[in-house]
């Protein structure tokens, strides 16, 4: 962690690691998608639409983990003044938001044939929507100031408060739902997941994680470059 | 403690000298709530059904409306820097300002809510629970709102941004607040929701002052 705090050292590290990460991501995505489309059997109830799961579920997992990562970066910035954490948080937030959006959109494509509706105010859906808003708030706040450092700090504080509040939101939404909507939604309690479905799912999950890492690394490099350009422009004035 | 009290008194005095701000918030609350019967139609059953939720959402928006005056003026005239240097810890100063904000916003709103409950045809017990839930819930809104206001101090488009930050965080307050009144209609006990509302307030009370102070320190740096 500390060794990579220096942006120049991070750039040397990522220059070497990035091609590998991108390559592994591409291979895993190809293998995962092939398995998801051709190897995994269609579900006996849900037919072919079950294949949406292989994108939907990893996106949900890593968008939640992405917010925890954002909070960890926020702590690193506020506690240790880790200079790279701010840039990495700037890089990670839009990726996390994109994952949350992917989860919401694929979920509604799945919900239409399965539940007969694009959207239900179900507990899990609602808390994912709130997570998406939290990402948007983080992105907007970090870019709302004339001085980028101020935006980074404010966004870091928001990420930390958000991560405390996230379980509370999740819990409150669950509670609200059980109170008001007694099982009006088709539950997905199919048979326990068979390995023919579980293996592609796990491959896709690792692929999405590697994609997240690759994108964040690329975007962090861009942020470093952008900061340098701004500094150079200021120095030239 | 004296310093804390003085700060609350000062903020209240400032509100008192310019009552327009508070009246505007209350007028907004009244206006927003009374638009719903026009929007969804005047059937009493419908209004009674949606009343608690509408009043809670209107209260949430009204609370957003007054957030910009929480710290922005103090930043503009330099008193925020004095607060940061004063012997009273900035955490407590932020808390004092939130308390003043609640006394001049959340509390009048709560006192006004029974009258609006009548407009929606709520019965006496529902109105009582609604007022109690607002009484317990609105302090959390002042704390979360204070956090949002502190974070966006000096930002571009601060007002809309504050709402984007605060409203998702305030989801539990809304759910438990409306839940208390709804539980009454469903024949269930209201204690659960009210206790959870109080618990949320305590968590906010324990966590937001630190975050607010951290945000304010950056604003005056």
- Nearest-neighbour CA in chain B from A154: distance (Å): 5
A229 inside 8 A of chain B by CB: no
H or E segment to which residue A21 belongs: helix A7-34
Per-residue model confidence (pLDDT) at position B132: 93
Residue A181: pLDDT band with limits 50, 70, 90? very low
Asked whether the predicted pLDDT for residue A212 surpasses 90, the reply is yes
* Stretch A46-70: mean pLDDT: 85
* Stretch A205-210: mean pLDDT: 91
A139 inside 8 A of chain B by CB: no
* Stretch A124-145: mean pLDDT: 90
Asked whether the predicted pLDDT for residue A44 surpasses 70, the reply is no
What are phi and psi for residue A90, nearest 5 degrees? -60, -35
Residue A177: pLDDT band with limits 50, 70, 90? low
**Nearest residue of A to residue B189 by CA position?**
A179
| CA dist., res. B200 & res. B207, Å (int) | 11
Upper half-sphere CA count for residue B45 (Cβ side, 13 Å): 0
Contact A213, A160 (CB under 8 A): no
Per-residue model confidence (pLDDT) at position B57: 93
Alpha-carbon separation of residue A56 from A52, A63, A188 (angstroms)? 6, 11, 14
Residue B147: CB partners within 8 Å, gap ≥ 6? A161, B165, B166, B169, B208, B211, B212, B215
Asked whether the predicted pLDDT for residue A183 surpasses 50, the reply is no
A140 inside 8 A of chain B by CB: yes
Asked whether the predicted pLDDT for residue A165 surpasses 70, the reply is yes
Per-residue model confidence (pLDDT) at position B204: 92
| CA dist., res. A190 & res. A203, Å (int) | 21
Which of B196, B208, B218 is opposite residue A153, by nearest beta carbon? B218
State pTM to two decimals.
0.87
The CA R_g of chain A, rounded to the nearest whole Å, is 20
**Length reported for chain B:** 221
Chain-chain contact of A150 with B154 (C-beta, under 8 angstroms): yes
Q: What is the ipTM of this complex?
A: 0.86
Residue A157: CB partners within 8 Å, gap ≥ 6? A74, A78, B151, B211, B214, B215
A146 inside 8 A of chain B by CB: yes
Residue A192: pLDDT band with limits 50, 70, 90? low
Across the 221 residues of chain B, what is the mean pLDDT of every consecutive 10-residue run?
A: 85 86 89 89 85 91 85 84 85 91 91 90 89 94 93 82 90 89 75 88 92 88 76
Alpha-carbon separation of residue B210 from A28, A97, A192, A198, B138 (angstroms)? 43, 27, 45, 44, 20
Give the tens place of pLDDT for each residue, A62-121.
Answer: 999 999 999 999 999 988 888 888 899 999 999 999 999 999 998 888 877 777 777 777
Which of A137, A150, A160 is opposite residue B165, by nearest beta carbon? A137
Instruction: Name every chain B residue with its beta carbon within 8 A of the beta carbon of A165.
Output: 169, 172
């Amino acid at each position: 962690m500390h060794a990579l705090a220096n942006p120049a050292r991070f750039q040397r590290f990522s220059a070497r690691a990035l091609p590998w990460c991108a390559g592994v991501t591409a291979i895993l995505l190809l293998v995962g998608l092939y398995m998801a489309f051709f190897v995994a059997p269609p579900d006996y109830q849900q037919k072919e639409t079950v294949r949406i799961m292989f994108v939907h579920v990893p996106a949900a997992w890593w968008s939640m983990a992405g917010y925890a990562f954002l909070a960890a970066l926020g702590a690193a910035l506020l506690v240790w003044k880790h200079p790279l954490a701010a840039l990495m948080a700037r890089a990670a937030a839009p990726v996390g938001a994109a994952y949350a959006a992917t989860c919401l959109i694929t979920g509604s494509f799945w919900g239409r044939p399965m539940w007969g509706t694009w959207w239900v105010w179900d507990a899990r859906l609602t808390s994912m929507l709130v997570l998406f808003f939290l990402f948007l708030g983080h992105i907007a706040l970090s870019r709302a100031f004339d001085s980028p450092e101020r935006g980074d700090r404010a966004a870091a504080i928001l990420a930390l408060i958000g991560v405390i509040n996230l379980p509370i939101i999740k819990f409150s939404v669950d509670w609200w739902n059980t109170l008001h909507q007694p099982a009006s939604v088709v539950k997905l309690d199919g048979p326990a997941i068979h390995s023919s479905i579980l293996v592609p799912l796990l491959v896709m999950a690792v692929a999405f994680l590697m994609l997240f890492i690759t994108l964040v690394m690329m975007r962090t490099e861009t942020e470093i470059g952008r900061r340098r350009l701004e500094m150079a422009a200021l120095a030239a004035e | 403690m004296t310093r804390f009290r003085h700060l609350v008194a000062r903020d209240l005095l400032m509100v008192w000298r310019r009552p327009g701000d508070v009246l505007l918030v209350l007028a907004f609350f009244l206006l927003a709530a009374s638009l719903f019967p026009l929007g969804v139609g005047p059937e009493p059953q419908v209004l009674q059904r949606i009343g608690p939720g509408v009043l809670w959402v209107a209260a949430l928006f009204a609370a957003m409306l007054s957030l910009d005056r929480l710290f922005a003026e103090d930043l503009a005239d330099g008193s925020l820097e004095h607060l940061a240097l004063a012997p009273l810890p900035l955490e407590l100063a932020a808390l004092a300002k939130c308390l003043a904000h609640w006394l001049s916003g959340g509390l009048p709103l709560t006192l006004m809510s029974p009258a609006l409950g009548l407009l929606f045809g709520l019965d006496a017990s529902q109105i009582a629970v609604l007022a109690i839930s607002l009484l317990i819930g609105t302090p959390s809104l002042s704390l979360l709102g204070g956090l949002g206001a502190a974070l966006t101090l000096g930002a571009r488009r601060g007002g809309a941004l504050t709402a984007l930050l605060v409203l998702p965080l305030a989801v539990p307050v809304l759910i438990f607040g409306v839940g208390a009144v709804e539980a009454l209609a469903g024949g269930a006990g209201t204690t659960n929701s009210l206790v959870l509302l109080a618990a949320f307030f305590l968590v906010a009370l324990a966590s937001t002052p630190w975050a607010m102070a951290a945000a304010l320190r950056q604003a005056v740096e």
